[in-house]
Chain A
């Protein structure tokens, strides 16, 4: 079926927190309303999760949606999936919408893998005959054939996720929505899953993909939109949007009133912006130093912060690594760091620092780095632990 997915001036309003969660709260509030007392703060709790979002995905197009937490990606997907209705605007699609999300939510822990395949398949809209026909493929893809008659409560979380993904991946939808499933299971399964996603995404149907894995977005998407706080901040090619996302234009504005004599030109990753936990991140810092001398105590420094909390994990001043502030020349520095941290988003920023006053003089470029969960662990520090069976 030739179908185009249309998202036409869509607005979505939410309440912060449920207004009434129980009858116990509802009844007094209705009584108050009847007696003419108003509670104005209720109105203020409304906010727009999506404001005037429009896009169109034609057959064989792959639209990527990127943005930080709370940008409106999940809301957009939920509206696409018809889980929510937009407050205003029009959404149009035809045929069966298949959603490739990490679901083992429908699994019942006491049922066997086999029983759960039929259950989950039915939840995702497959007829029983269809599940029967694809059953062997599903199990083989998940790689759990020998455990298929074991209750899933005995499965590892990886097996659970693999089976859930495999069921979803065997839908044959007219429109495909992919939500952040690119990091399911172990590395080998991820590669296999990505191959499957790629095959589905290039099958000639409209595809919408949401992911934090920007390298995957760049590889799969024919176009991308960048959402920020419910607004489309950028749209166009993957490269353009990813660049906007990682290097917000504020940085350039700050350059305009820079009288320090240091001109940062760029901070670029030499090995991608999505790297696995425990691996090395290599950055190249370039810029120009205009002056022959600078005030005492001025040094370059970089710091790594966690994106969500903003807390600083690590910072280093260049003399600590034997690098002095460049004088009157074009400079190119290389910064290597082991990302021995929890999976998540981190920001590496460079500053010009005054060690006399302990204040920054100039904010330099920053990059957002995605640390992926490829060497799983619990705790706050990635120690690259190995566990080898000797005997």
Chain B
């Protein structure tokens, strides 16, 4: 009906100064954290929504929270029996306790990360319409998954006396370890949820990595089973210090400030070093910082992608 105006195809005039008209301002990380604190009611609402839906809908209720760890323990036991049969050795009795304690953080990480990865895309409709701190979506996914972790921990605490735990104060190491794990997972969740909006196949890659990750980190294996060299490689993978720390402190009652070595088939293998605490702390701080920065850069384009 009408001719398109010529100006709709031209570029902006060059006299518009790029510097004065570049709107993007860098927001400091402290400011992002403050914004999220301001939006804490929103994060709580997202968490409540997820929990309500998960626990009221699922027939099994709270048992749902235990399903994943129990499955992992089951898989781990089968796995160990197979290995023991192949190598002709007795399978260890401390196996169940150790598997259980390591299955909790692993299942937390794996479920939290896959829900967080999809959190932004799942609410694309909302993101295109309403402004709210976008970080709250992956953050709530991860923290909400923390309730499953809490339920699982209570369950483990009840079972402790029966599974032959050494009850020492070193069990308290679990608290900082889990706190760091949550921070690490939030950081990864921020990065991946953002990436998944731009590249829709990220969630498949995450799923594949998580499926293999259970073998690469000390969930099923213990470092001494692999020998000095491969044990060290396994412990250097990002999720290992959290999981290994739980095992060493909670099951073996070891002080994490002291190194620990265990006998393997070819001599002593170091299964814990105090440095791994520093490694875990660095991982969580770096992941959180990088996650917040990447997410904030990406979130400027969310409404265009969604």
Using a CB–CB distance below 8 Å, which chain A residues touch chain B?
Answer: 9, 11, 14, 18, 20-24, 26, 47-48, 51-52, 78, 81-91, 97, 99, 101, 103, 105-106, 108, 110-111, 115, 118-119, 122-128, 228-231, 248, 250
Contacts and interface: CB of A to CB of B under 8 A. Distances in A.
B23 interface: yes
A22 to B, nearest CB: 4
A360 B156 CA distance: 85
A230 B8 contact: yes
Nearest to A21: B200
* 5 pairs of A and B residues whose beta carbons are closest in the complex: A83-B303, A122-B45, A122-B42, A22-B201, A23-B199
A110 B57 contact: yes
B90 interface: no
Contacts of A81: 130-131
B199 A105 contact: no
Nearest to A231: B5
B305 interface: yes
B132 A78 contact: no
20 contacts: A18-B305, A22-B199, A48-B8, A48-B9, A82-B131, A83-B129, A83-B131, A84-B304, A88-B21, A88-B23, A97-B131, A99-B130, A105-B125, A105-B126, A106-B130, A108-B49, A110-B56, A115-B52, A119-B48, A122-B42
B5 A228 contact: yes
A81 B48 CA distance: 27
A22 B23 CA distance: 28
Contact of B21 (A14, A89, A128): A89
A181 to B, nearest CB: 12
Nearest to A19: B198
Contacts of A20: 198-199
Contact of B201 (A14, A23, A105): A23
Contact of A123 (B1, B42, B300): B42
A108 B53 contact: yes
Contact of B130 (A9, A52, A87, A103): A103
Contacts of B202: 23
A23 B21 contact: no
Given A122-B42, A123-B42, A110 B53 contact: yes
Contact of B129 (A86, A97, A101, A228): A101
Given A91-B23, A105-B126, A111 B52 contact: yes
B5 A115 contact: no
B259 interface: no
Contact of A105 (B48, B57, B130, B200): B130
